[in-house]
Structure 1
Amino acid sequence: MSENKLVAVVNGKEITQGDVLKFLNDLGPQVAMQFQSPDGIKRVIDELVNQELLYLEAVENKIEKDEEFQDILNQTKITLLKSYALGKLINEEEVTETEVEEFYNEHRDHYKKPETVVASHILVDNEEKAQEILKEIEEGLSFEEAASKYSSCPSKEQGGNLGEFGKGQMVPEFEAKAFEMEIDTISEPVKTQFGYHIIKLNGKNPSRVRDLEEVKDEIYQQALRLKQQEKYLDKINELKGKYEVKIVE
């Protein structure tokens, strides 16, 4: 789609595919989806034409001279100027690679990843059924096949695999058992509020400090926000010394 392609002309004003794309982008992705068909694009073009017609009449009738419009225009200008001034102040800030490394070294404890485990389970309603399943597994049925065949949890579609999780993410009884197990072992039935679980521990990941490369982008954004905030506060303090400020209580 060429953004320069002409789609309409209103009193000499050209409307292009670029104008159509901008209109759709301003709507947001969910609403814009409703206008992706040829008929939807035509409706957008019609709306852009309609808006241009209203603009032409407003100019002809000198609506911009209305007192109410001037008030709105002034308030909008003030709001935009405030926003622009703030952006101009803080957007000049940058964070260097050295500053990222220094921030990381000074705050290493903030980037600790807690211990996690990787586990699968089979969930059934009663302990008797759980014991019967355990017996089948002992006789050669794979854990994954047993989960797919008997488990009432949606994870049955993945052979009972729950993926990786840390402490505080599962119900206490399940979590306590999973974290004390050895890799590749299968538990006796564990009772929780959901029923009886047979747990298989697939892996353990000890607590560790994440590498700098893992958190570099996160640190950059955090350090940038701190520098911007510091610059903002410094500027405000400077301006308070320049202009009179009186707080009325």
Structure 2
Amino acid sequence: MKDGVIAVVAGKEIKQEEFDLFVENLPQDKKAYLQYPGFRERLLDQYLALYTFSVDAVEQGLDKTEEFARILENTRRDILAQLAMREAVKNVKVTEEEAKEYYEANPNKFKKEETVQAKHILVEDEDKCTDILNSIVSGEISFEEAAKQHSTCPSGQQGGDLGEFGHGQMVKEFDEAAFAAEPGKVVGPVKTQFGYHLIRVEKKNEAEVQPFEAVKATIVNTLFQKKQNDAYEAKEKELKEKYVEM
């Protein structure tokens, strides 16, 4: 068989590049299976089956039916419409100046809310929670070691570390205590639906507007989508006025 030809179906050479394009156009969820042995071979079987069934359809005269003509015309219409839509928006661009102007005009959209970084210890009993607090305050045990020994929260194995979180990410009582706490000071017991907590805020991060470079890509994408929609709607209106009679 010639180089680059993977099969011959009813005299037609099927080239490797054609099959590669078929694979490239697979949905993303299907592409994930390409890592599994044998999946590409099954795809090739499916690809060749398309050709064999199409040959069979011609031999049956199905390409001469009204149904085929109707489907072909609908497909032709859809493809041409997609090409025209692509043509209508092909010149859409977003400059850095436009992105900066949008950023400066909408600072609240890029505001990073106040957050805290905190650790906690969770136990079921208030008295036990108080005893642990006293042991930490007296220096008998570190907060992290107490979390590992006593906390019923999975974070206990990381010394109680909860990472960074903002308002509303924790239950109300915990949220209020954490954001009111002084960094480095252990507060509690704080009662929530889960039990009793000791909380130590490691750091408070004040609300701030994110720098332009951090949100530039998001802004460009937002403006690009809007410009594309505007261009599409303008072209749609123009064509409707030109061709549609109602």
**Equivalent position amino acid for 1:83 in 2:** Q
**Equivalent position amino acid for 1:44 in 2:** L
> TM-score, normalised to structure 1's length?
0.86
Deviation at 1:123, TM superposition (A): 1.0
Deviation at 1:175, TM superposition (A): 0.6
- Larger deviation, residues 200-209 vs 108-117: 108-117
Q: Which residue of 1 aligns with 2:13?
A: 13
Q: 5+ residue gaps in structure 1?
A: none
Deviation at 1:30, TM superposition (A): 5.4
| Cα-to-partner distance string for 1:100-152 (whole Å, 9 max, x where unaligned) | 11111111222111111111111111111211222332333221222122111
Against the structure 1 CA distance between its residues 190 and 75, is the aligned structure 2 distance closer, same or farther, given a 3 Å change threshold?
Answer: same
CA contact (8 A) 1:7 1:17 kept: no
Deviation at 1:8, TM superposition (A): 3.6
**Equivalent position amino acid for 1:51 in 2:** L
Q: CA RMSD in A?
A: 2.4
2-structure distance, mates of 1:242, 1:12: 44
Q: Which residue of 2 aligns with 1:137?
A: 136
Q: Which residue of 2 aligns with 1:110?
A: 109
2-structure distance, mates of 1:101, 1:158: 41
2-structure distance, mates of 1:231, 1:34: 38
| Cα-to-partner distance string for 1:206-242 (whole Å, 9 max, x where unaligned) | 0111110011001101111222222223223333432
Q: Which residue of 2 aligns with 1:223?
A: 223
Deviation at 1:167, TM superposition (A): 0.9
Deviation at 1:172, TM superposition (A): 0.9
**Equivalent position amino acid for 2:124 in 1:** D
Against the structure 1 CA distance between its residues 237 and 29, is the aligned structure 2 distance closer, same or farther, given a 3 Å change threshold?
Answer: closer
Question: What is the 5 A alignment of 1:91-130?
Answer: 91-130=90-129
1-structure distance, mates of 2:39, 2:126: 58
SS in 1 for 2:121: strand
- The question of 1:41 aligning with 2:40 is answered yes
2-structure distance, mates of 1:228, 1:28: 24
CA contact (8 A) 1:6 1:16 kept: yes
SS in 2 for 1:164: strand
2-structure distance, mates of 1:81, 1:170: 52
2-structure distance, mates of 1:27, 1:167: 38
2-structure distance, mates of 1:194, 1:115: 24
Against the structure 1 CA distance between its residues 48 and 15, is the aligned structure 2 distance closer, same or farther, given a 3 Å change threshold?
Answer: farther
Deviation at 1:22, TM superposition (A): 3.4
CA contact (8 A) 1:35 1:44 kept: no
Against the structure 1 CA distance between its residues 122 and 245, is the aligned structure 2 distance closer, same or farther, given a 3 Å change threshold?
Answer: farther
Against the structure 1 CA distance between its residues 141 and 217, is the aligned structure 2 distance closer, same or farther, given a 3 Å change threshold?
Answer: same
**Equivalent position amino acid for 1:120 in 2:** K
Deviation at 1:31, TM superposition (A): 7.1
- Larger deviation, residues 178-187 vs 136-145: 136-145
Question: What is the 5 A alignment of 1:51-200?
Answer: 51-138=50-137, 139-200=139-200
Against the structure 1 CA distance between its residues 232 and 14, is the aligned structure 2 distance closer, same or farther, given a 3 Å change threshold?
Answer: closer
CA contact (8 A) 1:20 1:44 kept: no
**Equivalent position amino acid for 1:212 in 2:** F
Q: Which residue of 2 aligns with 1:234?
A: 234
| Cα-to-partner distance string for 1:21-56 (whole Å, 9 max, x where unaligned) | 73376154357527721x333333333332222122
